[in-house]
Homo-oligomer: A and B are copies of this chain.
């Protein structure tokens, strides 16, 4: 790590905390649900409202707001014209009846941190300006519920997903990403980065969505690795029949086959213990009539592990079990990978930098893994990256009851501010 001047002076003060919490409350009103969550799936009207609000917030403070061709929303601020950017952010889209912290906290924290840097450096002479500029990002469609796959915006940005494929993706009503973004006026015409404007490094802060920090009473998680994930699209093919009249032995019940698969997937996790998470969250029955044996079931399976080897072993077992289910239920099971990523390390330099910041600010910290994918999972393969977690009470996430205390929210903004202050001065590059 280069030797850099720290900027402890940009850290926390009470007025900054109040401003942040006020803004977070304002942001949480878009798509608010009665039980304290938000529902603003990608490129819906509610997502559009949060994007408009963020654009106005950034523009008022002198950031140049520009969207790229897949709807990633950037707020750019130059300290040194033409220099590369330190990028910070997360996503503002949510799950159906999701929590108000997941993603949105990270974008707002980045916006506030960048603005504190801007304010702090405004009075400095030109030769005291940092070597990198700062940019805030709101990645498009991190959640992947309305449009699959997840982490779509950062996937296109990092070249892992083709732009046109992303734009052509449809929701259940057949609306494409392109149509939805154009409808909101949120589809940009340029690439924003590349072609002269470069990203030097990336930082993201997010609620943990697990309970390690909450359980141990630690304020900051330094993410040093990400779990591997296998996501599958499964089709179970049976034959339509009468639920009452058709003899049991004559049935090819796609839903029975699917239910056996859901149980098998869950039992895989029981078998491997804490090192494997498995789930089926999406399952659609065709024709879904009370008196018709289902002819097809479509489902989405999600297997995650810190170990690529264990995941491969689970995959092989699942394949074997599906073959048995095909015989038992008299159905055919088609499976294909929808999205996979290997378990990977975050750059040790990012862990070291944010650890030093935490120590300097007197914030308790520990190393953590991320089981969930984040936009930083993509970004870390492109530029040096810092990924930070703050506690999520009882690990609740993707649910309205998701909660993080104000104190932790504000401490997180401080740590991010100081981390970015060091990054624009060359730390991590």
Contact = CB atoms under 8 A, between A and B. Distances in A.
Interface stretch (A3-11, A106-114, A239-247): A239-247
23 contacts: A95-B240, A96-B289, A145-B287, A211-B250, A227-B244, A240-B399, A241-B396, A241-B397, A244-B371, A244-B372, A245-B395, A246-B396, A248-B270, A250-B394, A255-B280, A263-B263, A281-B288, A282-B290, A283-B283, A284-B288, A289-B398, A290-B300, A291-B398
Interface string A287-313: 111111111000010101000000000
A370 B262 CA distance: 33
A269 B150 CA distance: 40
A418 interface: no
Nearest to A287: B96
A398 B250 contact: no
Contact of A245 (B281, B371, B400): B371
B95 A289 contact: yes
* Copies of this chain, count: 2
Nearest to A262: B259
B259 A144 contact: no
B243 A210 contact: no
Contact of A97 (B209, B287, B293, B300): B287
Chain B CB count within 10 A is highest, among A292, A300, A395, A397, for: A292
B210 A373 contact: no
A260 B258 CA distance: 11
Contacts of A116: none
Contacts of A74: none
Interface string A232-273: 000000011111111110110101101110110010011000
The 6 closest A-B pairs by CB, nearest first: A259-B262, A209-B245, A243-B279, A96-B287, A240-B399, A290-B300
A287 to B, nearest CB: 4
A212 to B, nearest CB: 9
Interface residues of A, number: 74
Interface string A39-81: 0000000000000000000000000000000000000000000
A2 B98 CA distance: 71
Given A242-B372, A255-B262, A302 B291 contact: yes
A425 interface: no
A182 B9 CA distance: 72
A335 interface: no
B291 A281 contact: yes
Nearest to A227: B244
A98 B292 CA distance: 9
Contact of A293 (B285, B292, B398): B398
Contact of A279 (B148, B253, B397): B253
A375 interface: no
A292 B285 contact: no
